[in-house]
Chain A
Amino acid sequence: MDLSVLAAESGMSAGEAFSISSTGMIVVLIVLIVLAVLVLLISKGVRAAQGKGKQTEEAVAAAPSASAAQSAAPAPAVPVVNGAPLPENQSAGQLELYDCDEKSAAVIMAIISNESGIPLNHLEFKSIKAIEE
Chain B
Amino acid sequence: MSVFHALSELLQKSGFLSLGWQNWVMIAVSFVLLYLAIVKKFEPLLLLPIAFGMLLVNVYPDIMADPLMLSSYEGEVVEGAHWYDTGVLRLIYSGVKSSIFPCLIFLAVGAMTDFGPLLANPSSLLLGAAAQLGIYVAFIIAVCSDMIPGFEGFTAREAASIAIIGGADGPTAIYLTSKLAPHLLGPIAVAAYSYMALIPLIQPPIMRLLTTKKEREIKMEQLRKVSKAEKIIFPIVVTVLCILFLPSVAPLLGMLMLGNLLRESGVTDRLSDTAQNSLCNIVTILLGVSVGATAEGKTFLDFKTLLIIAIGLLAFAFSTAGGVLFAKLLNLVTRGKINPLIGSAGVSAVPMAARVSQVEGRKYNATNFLLMHAMGPNVAGVIGSAVAAGYLLMLFE
Contacts and interface: CB of A to CB of B under 8 A. Distances in A.
B383 A35 contact: yes
Label chain B's interface by main secondary structure. helix
Nearest to B142: A17
Contacts, number: 123
Contacts of B283: none
B126 A17 contact: no
Given A14-B144, A43-B230, A32 B118 contact: no
A28 B140 contact: no
Contact of A36 (B125, B227, B355, B388): B125
Interface stretch (B30-38, B70-78, B389-397): B389-397
Residues of B in contact with A, size category: 35 or more
Contacts of A34: 241
A35 B238 contact: yes
Residues of A in contact with B, size category: 35 or more
Interface string B264-306: 0000000000000000000000000000000000000000000
Interface string A111-133: 10001000000000000000001
A39 B118 contact: yes
**Closest A-B pairs by Cβ, 5 of them:** A21-B136, A17-B143, A7-B396, A36-B122, A32-B129
Given A12-B143, A24-B136, 9 more contacts: A11-B155, A28-B129, A35-B122, A39-B122, A43-B226, A46-B229, A46-B233, A107-B367, A115-B222
Interface of B: 118-119, 122-123, 125-126, 128-130, 132-133, 135-137, 139-140, 143-144, 146, 152-153, 155-157, 159, 222, 226-227, 229-230, 233-234, 237-238, 241-242, 245-246, 355, 359, 367, 380, 383-384, 387-388, 391-392, 395-396
